[in-house]
Amino acid sequence: MSARVDDDALAVCVRAAERGRIARVRDDQTVFKDECAFSFDSPLSAHGVYVNAETLFGYSRKYVALDAARTGCEVYVRVKTTRTLKPTSEGEAKDETPTTLGFGVDGGFASESDKYDVDTTYALVIAPDFDDVSRALPLEGLPETLREACEKIAQKQGFHDTEETKSWQEIREVSRYALELAQEDNGKKIPSDPSKWRCEETGESGNLWVNLSDGHIGSGRRHFDGSGGNGSALRHYEAMKAQGKHYPLVVKLGTISANGADVYSYSPDEDDMVEDPYLAVHLRHWGINMLSMEKTEKSMAELQIELNKGFEFDKITEAGSQLESAYGPRLVGLKNMGNTCYLNSVMQVLKQVPAVCDRYFDKYEIFQSAPEDPVTDFPTQMSKLVNALVSDEYASPEAENAAVAVCPRMFKQLVGKGHPEFSTGRQQDAVEYFQHLLDVMTRAERAASSRVSAGPPTAAQFTFEIEDKLTCVESGNVRYSTRKDNILSLGIPLDKATNKASVAAFKERELKRQKKEEEDVEEIVRPEVPFSACLEVFGSTETVEDFYSTALKRKSIASKVARMKTMPNFLAVQLRRYYVGDDWTPKKLDVLVDVPKTISLEHLRARGLQPGEVELPEDQDGAAMETSSTPAPARVEPDMAIVSALMSMGFSENGSKRAALATNNASTEVSMEWVFAHMEDADFNEPLPDPSELPSVSAPSAVNPESVMMLTSMGFGEDAAEAALKACAGNLERAADWLFSHADDLQSAIAQVNGATNDVGTDVDSTTLDGAGEYELFGIISHMGGNTNCGHYVAHVEIDGKWYIFNDRKVALSRQPPTDLGYLYVFRRR
């Protein structure tokens, strides 16, 4: 039975209703009741969360007074949750080893909600009075609008409680070929006894896939699912296709059970794991009764999960070592929301950059000046996350299993909004996320310059200039050009391994063991390449064929060498461990590169035009200078739909962007053909060069008229709207953000876009800092897995002279940082 609201509270409620701002909660509207907009307090916190009845944003008790002063709201709904561990009866213990890539699903990783009984209560609160004992909802006598708002706040799911918590579950699309799949009547029947299954080409008995169209049994691809194989199933598909027969769907025999099986589509427009809703019927055609089958091999999901049993996982996570847990300021773990270890690792390193803390840590004024919707405000969410990581507010010995966890869900959604990859729940490349985050941060700091500290943007701490020197071999004339970047991306020269003889001997022994089918196992001998060799490759001279020499007025040969023109305060170094193999699948170099704790780049510093050097003349005839085997990037943004499609096939973001630009954003198919023709180019995975140093390539300049109209309706001129859309690849939301962020220098920004002087691909800020090229290592981001679209990231960070491992929520003193297995290394100037 509900109680009546007391007279004092009723007077405030009537006043609030007369204000006319009580929220009328729509069905599609989010109520932010499960996390404070300014901190990581939740309903599970000691005081719960207080939801503004007008804006529907929740705040911890610490920030209610601030929000009331900002918005004028007096009426809040307090949300308080308690939870108790579910009892476990004797005999209920079960194997919790996951078999499905997902949270909260059968066979998946257990979510916290599966372990607890939860009780949530709602109460009316009048700010700044926090006495809610006698005002538990529902209450009688409330004004109608407020009563409806309170009911909706209690009924609706919160920001966390949506399907986002299950976003990590592996999603397999239904194959478009399943409904009308062709199946031959060739009399073939597949035995139900797994011991009788054999590859029809090689006789192998493991990792076998049956083609659902003609019953052919073939071997899977090596490295594709972590097991052996020779690819005969794929070769059979290609052979049938050459005969005009499209038989795309195959099933992994050893995974068939009453619960389903692994189905793969070889069709180029899918080329992925898929669902076949008619699988039972399709298998019955070949004599296989799913209901009577038992799984005999690991599924693709199980093989991916087992990545943690290898050398790489053990070494990076320091498995086997008695690690001492660590707690305190800067030692706060981050909850993994399924596939967000890439975000967690990047932020654990970034928080150690003084410029980040100077701008975002303990800046109460950022919250004071936040817009009414703080969830979509980058300075607010960045400050919220940095406060949590740097302070001791969420640091406790119970942090690893605490009810209240630092879970950067709002931050992830905001930074990834509108991006074809980072807006999803899939695993991502930490290096690409690092660069994207710096881009987002730069735009936000421009737009909110009055709210954040003055000075160069945060990204300037990492931005540097590279000087490229081209020398015409015949004439000896030179040309210098400069490009900007924020990642020093280094290739790994395997031919420079110091233990080549040992590696070769190991491979020979391994080959003999395989031929003799010996079962004894020897520890793998991996190539060991010095870090200095990677730097030598960066600074080495490259030969440029078909170079148009303006001195000779004809094509010739040139040499090209890169040097560091400026040395940033913080240097991010990527070791390119990932590549695309001969079978077009992403692979990883199994190599050790021991990166030293201190490095010097002064020997790579650019010197500019030297005495006696003669510059190549400008080409008066307008002939194009060809600087590499890669077609000159057009002065347009790459189509992110094409880039996303290519990245989903395993190609790098930089290579995908090059393909889109080189083909004038023609289509995914055309861009893919360009990739196959140029993936061996030395600069394929390099960041895109500054287009101001390259000749123009004609590109479509038209923008969507409807998008232009939307932007002009906001008060911007048509020329500004078109420039914004050009700069943002036609993305309306990003274009609006671009206009507001360039409000102080709009005409200059428009001229820059129309003159194509912006960087293509990475929005590296124009500000660069310079100093001595002497650096010391303080951060390592390592990746475990066959490619950056799966697996797991871990960060090692040096704090106050000690190294710590940050494995999502777990934080501990590190005994042996994996300096030889890192993917991204971050240095600070000594």
Active-site residue set: 341, 792
**Closest CA relative to residue 371, chosen from 771, 70, 124, 806:** 70
Backbone angles phi, psi at 573, to 5 degrees: -115, 125
Annotation-wise, does 221 bind a ligand?
Answer: yes
Contact call for residues 606 and 563 (beta carbons, < 8 A): yes
Query: In this structure, is the dihedral angle defined by the CA atoms of residues 38, 40, 46 and 50, taken in order, positive or negative?
Result: positive
- Helices 640-648 & 668-678, crossing angle to 10 degrees? 60
Q: Count helices and strands (H / E) in the chain.
A: 22, 25
Distance in angstroms (rounded) separating the CA atoms of residues 321 and 331: 19
Annotation-wise, does 116 bind a ligand?
Answer: no
170-194: b or e for each residue (b if 16 or more CB lie within 10 Å)?
A: bebeebebbeebeeeeeeeebeeeb
Contact call for residues 463 and 568 (beta carbons, < 8 A): yes
Annotation-wise, does 197 bind a ligand?
Answer: no
Contact call for residues 565 and 606 (beta carbons, < 8 A): yes
Is there a cis peptide before residue 631, judged by omega within 30 degrees of 0? no
Per-residue tokens: 262? 């692994």
- In single-letter form, the type of residue at position 623 comes to A
What is the secondary structure of 599-648 as a DSSP string?
EE-GGGB---SPTT--BPPP-TT-PPP--SSSPPPPSS---HHHHHHHHH
For residue 149, the number of C-alpha atoms closer than 13 Å in the C-beta half-sphere is 27
**Closest CA relative to residue 742, chosen from 319, 347, 442:** 442
549-572: b or e for each residue (b if 16 or more CB lie within 10 Å)?
A: bbbeeeebebebbbbbbbbbbbbb
E strand spans, 720-766: none
Contact call for residues 814 and 823 (beta carbons, < 8 A): no
**Closest CA relative to residue 50, chosen from 128, 165, 161, 116:** 128
Annotation-wise, does 330 bind a ligand?
Answer: no
Annotation-wise, does 199 bind a ligand?
Answer: yes
Annotation-wise, does 209 bind a ligand?
Answer: yes
What is the β-pairing status of strands 139-140 and 3-4? parallel
CB under 8 A, 24+ apart: contacts of 619-625: 619/548, 619/550, 621/553, 623/548, 623/550, 623/553, 624/548, 624/695, 625/479, 625/547, 625/548, 625/550, 625/695
Distance in angstroms (rounded) separating the CA atoms of residues 296 and 196: 13
793: β partners: 783
Distance in angstroms (rounded) separating the CA atoms of residues 103 and 23: 33
Distance in angstroms (rounded) separating the CA atoms of residues 251 and 259: 14
Annotation-wise, does 590 bind a ligand?
Answer: no
**Residue whose structure tokens are 């009546």:** 4
Q: List, as residue ranges, the binding site.
A: 199, 209, 221-224, 264, 266, 271
The binding site for substrate comprises 209, 221-224, 264, 266, 271
Residues forming the annotated binding site for Zn(2+)? 199
